[in-house]
Structure 1
């Protein structure tokens, strides 16, 4: 069976250190993604709690994750598991300095179901838009300051 992968290249004007904090601190992740109990250490198991959306007839869900790689400020990889193996995928961020800013290579791999793949494409587009807005306001956010 062939699996599908979502790939995106994101560019931010903030330094890799600031972008890293947005990706690798629980408080910052909660600002642009979902409530969580993330810790930036390999082997840490954590969850994202996706809230319900009654307008979309969505009851919410819990995403179970485990940090597989954490190499500040350049690489973060974790599992992304929903249900009893219904969705068992991996998320990876790789950060590279790009002038004064940061180039981020994003990958979410391992999709077997088209519905899950298309839903995740939509979800990541929304979340990465929120990430960009959070980074634009980085100077106002204590979680993103050094």
Structure 2
């Protein structure tokens, strides 16, 4: 963490399989980035342009590559909010024993003033979840391209109800009281998935599906912005599936989550 008194930063790290070069391809190239997080256009040099395609969760974001030191440091800054303060994100990759690496993500702001804590905390929570997807991708699907299935549905409930709403969402998916490493199969009235639970935390589950297609499904329940209602958020990456299959999956999950929203309203 920085000693700069203006720093408002959060740090998360995770150990992943692979060499620094393999990890670098996953975090600092467009195809790698899209296979576990968001599609991105990355100009590979300091000062290079970068566009992160976060739809439907948020608008596409323009950023500038701030640090480019392959295969160990990659950072960028993107303007945030009406006053365009730059949100800084930096990846640090360090090799460890046994053919793995520690990936550390530091995100936040460098400026004086209050009022940024919720945004910084939210970014930190988002990276905690995203890094579990990176680990699963590098463990099971490294180097494979992915079809994107991204869905967000407003559940119409305040953030204070997150625990109860998350528990109900997981119940409807047949995932109540599951633990990492457990086999799962969704119930008949939910989209069909079979596989293994990769990670579980409050309001978040990461599933590795073997059927109907090899895939990672990150399902969460939290507000996408300060003051926003809770939403059900799905980020899924299908490996080896045609684009038409990904589009069918997106429609299937969209329809099911809309039905979940109606059930909460009844």
TM-score by length of 2: 0.46
Partner of 1:85: 83
Any conservation in 2 of the 1:26–1:39 contact (CA below 8 Å)?
Answer: no
Partner of 2:102: 103
In the alignment, structure 1 residue 114 sits paired with structure 2 residue 113: no
Cα distance 1:21–1:140, how it changes in 2: closer, same or farther (>3 A)? closer
Partner of 1:56: none
Cα distance 1:87–1:80, how it changes in 2: closer, same or farther (>3 A)? same
Provide runs of 4+ in structure 1 moved above 4 Å.
none
How many angstroms apart in 1 are the aligned matches of 2:130 and 2:78?
15
How many angstroms apart in 2 are the aligned matches of 1:142 and 1:50?
18
How many angstroms apart in 2 are the aligned matches of 1:77 and 1:17?
16
> Between Structure 1 and Structure 2, which shows a larger proportion of helix residues?
1
Gaps of 5+ in 1: 54-59
Partner of 2:60: 62
Matches of residues 1-146 of structure 1 in structure 2 within 5 Å?
A: 2-53=6-57, 60-99=58-97, 100-110=99-109, 113-139=116-142, 141=144
TM-score by length of 1: 0.80
Tell me how far 1:114 sits from its aligned partner.
2.2
Gaps of 5+ in 2: 147-266
The Cα offsets for residues 66-118 of structure 1, whole Å up to 9 and x where unpaired, read as 11111111111111323443552211111111012111222112175122122
RMSD between aligned residues: 2.3
Larger relative contact order (CA 8 Å, sep ≥ 6): 1
From the CA coordinates, give the structure whose radius of gyration is larger.
2
Cα distance 1:82–1:49, how it changes in 2: closer, same or farther (>3 A)? farther
